[in-house]
Amino acid sequence: MFRGSITALVTPFDGGKLDETKFKSFVEWQINEGSHGLVPCGTTGESPVLSHEEHIRVINICIDVASKRVPIIAGTGSNSTEEAIYLTKSAKEAGADGALVVTPYYNKPSQRGLVSHYLKIADSVDIPLIIYNIPGRSVVDLTLESLKTLSNHSNIVGIKDASDNLARTLSIRLELKENFSLLSGDDVTATGFLAQGGNGCVSVCSNVAPRLNAKLYDLWDAGKYDEVWKIRDILHPLNVALFCEPNPAPIKYACSLLNKCSPETRPPMVPIDSHTKERIKNCMKVAGIID
């Protein structure tokens, strides 16, 4: 079962090109800081603007640097089923421990279409699949009934849910098999997600606060809830600030304050404004991440 603080990694750029040196260093730092898993090429990693060659390269670098020390769940989703199969096969060949597959965006498939999409991927590639449900970006919302159907496939092992519906989390836990991984897609509600039966979070914030985020889940597992609440409260203002403009521009700026990467994003993403920069900087100071 995938669990804990799983970082949705940023993809560093330098002059428009992939900064492999920074990325290798960043993956190593994440592991040393205690992250329980890593997701290369998710939305935070700007997967929509990576070429196939870059996408596969980023996944390979992450797997090579991690060297089996933590699970690597590669982002391989697409609104094209065939493209998703291709990317998932590539991740499998590279040695990924799992694949994170977002619901098809823009096409607006029906529930039958969503079920067909995931079953075709699961039948084509023998790798643990995590479904990524994020209605705010993809428009479609995978229902509990559809998820129940998909969970019967041996390769579909969990869901990353970013629906902001904590009632759904409990429904999933009660309806599906116990070893089905329930991962939050929202840092701001991650502890509520745990209380409703969740297992962890694919985190944006852990790009800059990996140790604090990992500690939160370790303390949760140890039943030290008063200490969990303290970390939750420390990180909350930063979690909110990191989404006051579209992800991943805010988190890349935050990473730049730690010299982990440049704040550079690819179009159509643009740099964040000066007010947002100041807000993020102040929140990082309050959390003790920077001086």
Positions annotated as catalytic residues are 132, 160
From 39, 12, 19, 3, select the one nearest 204 (Cα to Cα). 39
Q: How far apart are CA 204 and CA 38, in angstroms?
A: 11
Half-sphere exposure of residue 51: CA atoms within 13 angstroms, side-chain side: 6
- Which of 139, 130, 113 has its CA nearest to residue 185? 130
Please give the structure tokens belonging to residue 54: 């870059």
Q: At 185, which amino acid appears?
A: G
Alpha carbon of residue 167 to chain centroid = 21
The answer to whether residues 46 and 11 touch, using CB atoms and an 8 Å cutoff, is yes
Question: Comparing C-alpha atoms, which of 214, 216, 177, 184 is closest to residue 199?
Answer: 184
What are residue 132's DSSP bridge partners?
102, 160
Residues in the chain: 291
For residue 71, what are its two tokens? 């699970």
- The residue ranges of DSSP E strands in 135-254, in sequence order, are 156-161, 181-184, 200-203
Burial code (b: 16+ CB inside 10 Å, e: under 16) for 116-154 equals ebbbebbebbebbbbbbbbeebbebbbeeebbebbbeee
